[in-house]
């Protein structure tokens, strides 16, 4: 007997993860149907996606964009119903006909609908870092309380998940895991002389050597804040601490991460750097389906290199580990300050090396409160943005 077709909701459909998700889903019409697609303001792209995938609902966060989409779809004869705002996001993430929610909205805006999906027991494909960085304990409590299934989409966390024993939630020591080896490409400045980093331009920072990503995430990769946030995520996903996570620079980005066991075995997940692999894995888990990703050519890879990260070169990595150890809303403050600093750098208001300085100053100035409610988390997020903005205003660009 054939399995029933699974309903899929893609939060953040017009971004790179959303586009890749729809590519994988379209390869398996016998398994999946698109129930809802959401976007912020990209009307034309979401309209095209609605025409291609015929979702029951489309949500634009921006009200004006929603009205444009509504009129456009009506003129084209589409039956897709258009909703708007944060309420619309939470509504479609909670629909009974939705089995799987791809949580790919970048930033704090993705947190409420991702929590709504968890509270309704969905299979949550987590590509939104903020859900765990800002509200780790709160989010994991909702997942466990409501029987949701959380599957990580970040290539590194997905790799770790694939290399873990199925019962890892008992605790890593209890299942024979010694540590997690979290790989990082090192970004475009892995070997740039330290004295040259202050003069780095936004164009140089967004030119990632291996992955195609948005501008903000590319800068995070260049500072290794992206990896720092992934350390925080890994702690929540796999019930561990930064002390049990070793970041490993691996410039080829072929090994996506590793898990070391008590007997000395190290299991690694390898593959081409294409996000459709973790997306397909999480969509079908525990089964395997075609993702559209070509086979890894080991002969063209030829070699795999590894280095230990230099925390002087990558202070954002140190700041992330310290924030996780500090606990409470410290990771929320870290994340918010980073977003303000990166935005200022991309706008050419500050230099590249000012990014970690702004984050550290903001962390020093603000106390970390218990992260026990969304209201508290958003309050501290707003406070961190305000303080970081003040610090940015006082920075003299080199």
Taking only the tens place, the pLDDT of each residue in 326-362 is 999 999 999 999 999 999 999 999 999 999 999 999 9
Residue 4 has pLDDT above 70, yes or no: yes
Q: Residue 76: which pLDDT band, with cuts at 50, 70 and 90?
A: very high
Which of 276, 269, 339, 210 minimizes the C-alpha distance to 17? 276
Q: Is 261 within 8 Å of 177 (Cβ atoms)?
A: yes
Contacts of 70 (CB under 8 A, 6+ apart): 82
pLDDT score of 106 more than 90: no
Containing 66, the helix (H) or strand (E) segment is helix 63-75
CATH architecture of 6-152: 3-Layer(aba) Sandwich (3.40)
Average pLDDT over the chain, rounded to an integer? 95
Residues 26-41: what's their mean pLDDT?
A: 97
Phi (first) and psi of residue 111, to 5 degrees: -70, -50
163, 268 Cβ separation under 8 angstroms: yes
What is the pLDDT confidence band of residue 212, given thresholds at 50, 70 and 90? low
Q: What is the pLDDT of residues 80-102, one digit of tens each?
A: 999 999 999 999 999 999 999 99
How many residues would you count in the chain?
A: 398
What mean pLDDT do residues 162-183 have? 96
Residue 379, judged by CB atoms within 10 A of its CB (0-12, 13-18, 19+), counts as middle
Q: Kindly state the DSSP code that residue 138 receives in the 8-state scheme.
A: H
Q: Are strands 266-270 and 255-261 parallel, antiparallel or unpaired?
A: antiparallel
Cα separation of 54 and 36, whole Å?
9
pLDDT range class, residue 395, cuts 50, 70, 90: confident
> What residue spans define the domains of the chain?
6-152, 155-272+296-314, 327-398
CATH code that applies to domain 327-398: 1.10.1740.10
Which is more confidently placed, 277 or 194?
A: 277
Q: Give me the pLDDT at residue 8, please.
A: 98
Longest dimension (CA), the chain: 67
Burial zone of 293 (CB within 10 Å; 0-12 exposed, 13-18 middle, 19+ buried): middle
Residue 210 has pLDDT above 60, yes or no: no
Residue 219 has pLDDT above 90, yes or no: yes
């Amino acid at each position: 007997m054939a399995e029933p077709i699974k309903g899929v909701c893609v939060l953040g459909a017009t971004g790179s993860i959303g586009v890749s998700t729809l590519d994988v889903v379209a390869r398996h019409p016998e398994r999946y149907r698109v129930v809802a697609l959401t976007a912020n303001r990209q009307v034309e792209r979401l309209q095209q996606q609605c025409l291609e995938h015929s979702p029951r609902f489309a949500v634009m966060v921006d009200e004006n964009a929603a009205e444009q989409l509504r009129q456009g779809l009506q003129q084209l004869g589409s039956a897709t119903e258009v909703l708007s705002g944060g309420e619309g996001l939470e509504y479609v993430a909670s629909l009974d006909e939705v089995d799987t929610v791809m949580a790919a909205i970048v930033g704090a805006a993705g947190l409420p609908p991702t929590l709504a999906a968890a509270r309704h027991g969905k299979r949550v494909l987590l590509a939104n870092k903020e859900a765990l960085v800002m509200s780790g304990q709160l989010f994991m409590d909702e997942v466990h309380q409501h029987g949701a299934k959380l599957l990580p989409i970040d290539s590194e966390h997905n790799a770790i998940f694939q290399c873990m024993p199925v019962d890892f939630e008992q605790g890593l020591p209890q299942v024979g895991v010694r540590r997690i080896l979290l790989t990082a490409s090192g970004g475009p400045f892995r070997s740039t002389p330290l004295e040259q980093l202050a003069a780095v331009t936004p164009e140089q920072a967004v030119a990632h050597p291996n992955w195609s990503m948005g501008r903000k995430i590319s800068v995070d990769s260049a500072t290794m804040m992206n990896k720092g946030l992934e350390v925080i995520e890994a702690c929540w996903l796999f019930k561990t601490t930064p002390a049990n996570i070793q970041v490993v620079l691996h410039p080829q980005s072929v090994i996506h991460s590793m898990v070391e066991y008590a007997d000395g075995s190290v299991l690694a997940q390898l593959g081409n750097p294409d996000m459709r692999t973790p997306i397909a894995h999480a969509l079908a888990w525990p089964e395997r389906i075609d993702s559209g990703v070509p086979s890894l050519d080991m002969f063209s890879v030829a070699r795999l290199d590894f280095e230990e990260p230099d925390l002087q070169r990558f202070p954002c990595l140190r700041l992330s580990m310290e924030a996780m150890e500090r606990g409470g809303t410290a990771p929320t403050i870290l994340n918010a300050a980073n977003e303000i600093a990166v935005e200022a750098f991309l706008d050419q208001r500050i230099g590249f090396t000012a990014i970690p300085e702004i984050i550290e100053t903001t962390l020093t100035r603000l106390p970390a409160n218990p992260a026990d409610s969304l209201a508290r988390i958003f309050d501290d997020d707003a406070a961190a943005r305000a303080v970081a903005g003040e610090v940015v205003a006082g920075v003299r660009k080199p």
